[in-house]
Structure 1
Amino acid sequence: MMKMGNMNNIIVRQAIVFGAEAHAGHLDDAGKDYFLTHCWQVYEIVKILYPEDFELQAAALLHDILEDTDVTYENLVSEFGVDIANLVLEVTHERRADDTGWYFPHLHSIRGIVLKFADRASNLSRMEEVWDAERIEIYIKKSKFWQSDEM
């Protein structure tokens, strides 16, 4: 019989394969493999903070998959279950109607907020070399996911 920890590690391994395949050929602004740099870094941050939360770790690996690939929410539910799919949906942004930035209408849980902060930390740390100060400032202003859409 398989122990629960091993079963959960399978979920993380499955997310690695699924995410790498979905993001194949996707490069970041520095020209590096997007999944191996950004998605992996978000996973590493989450893994340090929540070493026993394998569903959150899997969601970290998949966090940009709805925004950047053809994978749908329904695909995620089918492959990983509702909990992981919902975590990914929580951190999936939508553009504001006036194009002043993004908002996150589904972001509501502590786990989702932790995942979004890990995502932002990764983005800022990786892009320091290729983004100038003005672009970083714009990114921060457009990324105020902790504010309501009305603010």
Structure 2
Amino acid sequence: MAGRAHFVVNDLTSTGLRDTSVSAAVSIDALQYADHRAPAADGTRRILRRGGRLVVTGWHPLSFGDSRLPERHRHTDWPTVLSAANFTAVECQARPAGPTPTSASTASRSSWATRARNAALAGLQSEALWRLPTAHLLSRIAATAIAS
């Protein structure tokens, strides 16, 4: 893939990529952290060519609107968000979770504790510990969609 693929790190709503410049996009547990999901989905749609594929992984609430969950997870509904952003063939399936939020939180307490020297890692560790009590209220999902 040398010369054909590259990675870009930027804001979810302002990637820096040109309109219709990519044929595929993958979001692994990232879009769910956008402050406003509709603009993030619109931004993803903007960079995809017509017929381009999007794959999103993340978490859906087991019970929509569950007040025990953090606000960002309470109302997660990727099929609705992606359809509103003019994606078609939107599919969302529960996926077997590899590391669960519970196991990630447990790992964060042990192995990351001594390595959380930078802000990003410390923030991840903090969120993992905070999320432990609600991990059982979420379902791991994978959503796919086609840019129309």
Does TM, scored on the shorter chain, surpass 0.5? no
- The structure richer in helix per residue is 1
TM-score range for the pair, normalised by the shorter chain length: 0.3 to 0.5
TM-score by length of 1: 0.38
TM-score normalized by the length of structure 2: 0.38
Q: Larger % of strand: which?
A: 2
